[in-house]
Structure 1
Amino acid sequence: MSEPPRFDRGHTDDLMSFLAASPSPYHAVANAAERLEKAGFRQVAETDAWDGTSGGKYVLRGGAIVAWYVPEGAAPHTPFRIVGAHTDSPNLRVKPLPDTGAHGWRQVAVEIYGGPLLNSWLDRDLGLAGRLTLRDGSTRLVNVDRPLLRVPQLAIHLDRSVSAEGLKLDKQRHLQPVWGLGDTRDGDLIAFLEETAGLAAGEVAGWDLMAHSIEAPAYLGRDKELMAGPRMDNLLSVHAGAAALAAVAGSGAALPCIPVLAAFDHEENGSQSDTGADGPLLGSVLERSVFARGGSYEDRARAFAGTVCLSSDTGHAVHPNYAERHDPTHHPRVNGGPILKVNVNNRYATDGSGRAVWAAACEKAEVPFQSFVSNNSMPCGTTIGPITAARHGIKTVDIGVAILSMHSVRELCGVDDPWLLANSLVAFLEG
């Protein structure tokens, strides 16, 4: 295997821009759609009748996007090659009654979403972003990308035990951010966001809002071989999947399959929603694509039987300060190439035949890959992989990029790995 290029700075720069511009799942799918539209894809509505024409198409639903490219001459039973990912990240989300406070401080009431490293949210300048739903049922994205909120940590002088016993945070009492001074007024936060978004007072009827760190992604280290940034879990995979799908669609190559990007919401809390991997969205899109090309249920069954999905999510690089927490013989390193994730208890969906598919794609792309398994004494996380395999009956392989500080407000990866992942995804989607 030839030596791969170190990394493509243009790809990494674009990833950093994508992370910075995607503080919520709704922004992430809008940005992915914009990149796909530049590659010739067009949005189709789920409420419209679909045709069987060739070309790139995509569906947006909330914080999820499913995009696919039908090559010329694709038969109804042509199998799919799917890159699966998720758009959500652990964070602090605004409650239905957002305005709170005490002792002259104005605060925003938040709920913990997913499993964030809570201490990483302390003493950070935070913005606020998400989706506003208007009284007419339409939605508007909003992003206050400036210092607006802060979760202040208690001074050590008032808690001397923290040095000996460690930081202990109560999720209800200690994570409510401040955003001003004065008396709490009901409706104040939403009124502020209406003004920010250029909306009339009282126009907002609902909201899905979340805090985010406003610190920009950055190259890190003496030789800038590392990258620090927010929401790499799992917008790194969303970005790589969108880039790979656009590249395959624009290559003009004859394809034996239909390449797909499926980026779901709500992975961090179980995927059970209409936009999650455990919902009907992916199956509905794939089936409608088959039927729009004149296919039958038999064609659908044949297409699904030949389909393979790569569940692409971040994984754990070996931590230099906690190496004993990792399996002693599996030590994925940053900039060592993407990882194949294996768990025999089906926390990951990879089996031996799936490994062969992944190895072939990496060999074609001239990309090295590593293997990850959890330490037997540690619980193993999971992904959309087992859910996708079980729900749709399609072969699924779990892969990704090894990072540090997973679920922190700011994560760390090697600069080579996103580029190497994208190249391996291109080879996979080409079939």
Structure 2
Amino acid sequence: MLSLSRWRQTRILLIGASAMGMDSSMDKDIGCETTRKRRHVTVVGAGIVGINCALQAVKSGHVVVVLDREAPGQGCSFGNAGLIARSSFVPLSSPRILAEVPKWLLDPLGPLAIRWTYLPRLIPWLVRFVRAGNLKQVHQTAAALQTLTDPSVELYQQLAKEAGVGSLVRASDYIYVFETKKAFAKAAFDMELREQLGVRVERLRGGEVRDLEPTLADHFKFAYRLLDHGFTVDPEGLVKSLADHFRRLGGDIRRCEVKDAEFGPRDVTALITDDGRLETDVVVLAAGAYSGPLARTFGVTVPLDTERGYHVTLPDPGVMPKRPVMSGERKFLVTPMAMGLRFAGTVEFGGVVAPANYARARALLALGGHMFPGIRTDGYSEWMGLRPTLPDSLPVIGSSPKFDNVIFAFGHQHIGLTAAPKTAQIIAELIDGRTPNVDIRPFRPNRF
């Protein structure tokens, strides 16, 4: 199916599962020469970012094919918390977070776990993670990520409307709730950083918390209310709906897996899949948690690891908050969805092949009962997915130093859903030879 004669037009291959982008240095490679030409674009990866990129490319007039070994909307695109988090630009490594790590690791219900058999492999990543937590770098990282997250709500509202599924995306506020004044105060730095970068934050105390969200237990006495956010009530349904819209516009989606590539002196000339050989002129790698091996093939070694996240979804919880609610102490998120109430979060380091530890998911049930008195858990479902994460909290977006026609876009950690539309816009701009309207140098592949 994929053995194709060599196209006469310029072809661009996008390999993606979680996010996409390009460094402005690609202008010299595919910029003015390809401007206004209709190109054959192949997106490998049918996750939220891959589908967003495919949709933007086909809307720009290109011939677009999506390749993925899974159907659209699987992996993290299926099981995420659904939050469209324009304020989720505070990096994962910061002085406050680093101070909490020992306590979290000792807590069986804590938000962080490390499989100790995986620790030797993880140590180099952890060293880089700690180094990235200085205050100067925290501010720089937040400013870079904010360019990807800030327009997310409006972009999703537009995309969902175009796809005929406007009801899947809701504008909303979003609250961090706390039981103790001490924990509330510890979060002040993160909230002030958000405010510095344009997020509107309200501070609630005492009865104000339950006045806003009456479903909460009364021991939640403090909260930060983040305005101008959003969420999807069906993460999988959103991806599938965008994929259907992509097909209606003329796009094609095929099930296959990239296995290898063929090379010229300075470019990748073809990809080898389990369904045939596909010639190409430009490759964009954004294969999420599985990007590392292909990135090495294409000239870059990056310290990519995975944060294994878990969720439980309750089909008939008996209570339904009006908005997404984050536990400030326990670091899990609760989102009202079409299929029930989803509790999502936790971070577990254990690689991509170890079996899921669903005790991590079931711990969320106990935490949910503590947050919402009387909640019903009958018939719950559980899930685990792999977040692609780099130690500096920044994705890899840019061109390969070895192959002129290879572009990287992966490693978006917790913000794959949120950052996907803006990443797709960047890709569309670069395909058309235009300079992106945001600075993508902080995401360069050779920064490590």
Q: Say whether the fold is shared (TM-score over 0.5).
A: no
| Greater RCO (CA < 8 Å, at least 6 residues apart) | 2
TM bucket, shorter chain:
under 0.3
TM-score (norm 2): 0.26
TM-score (norm 1): 0.27
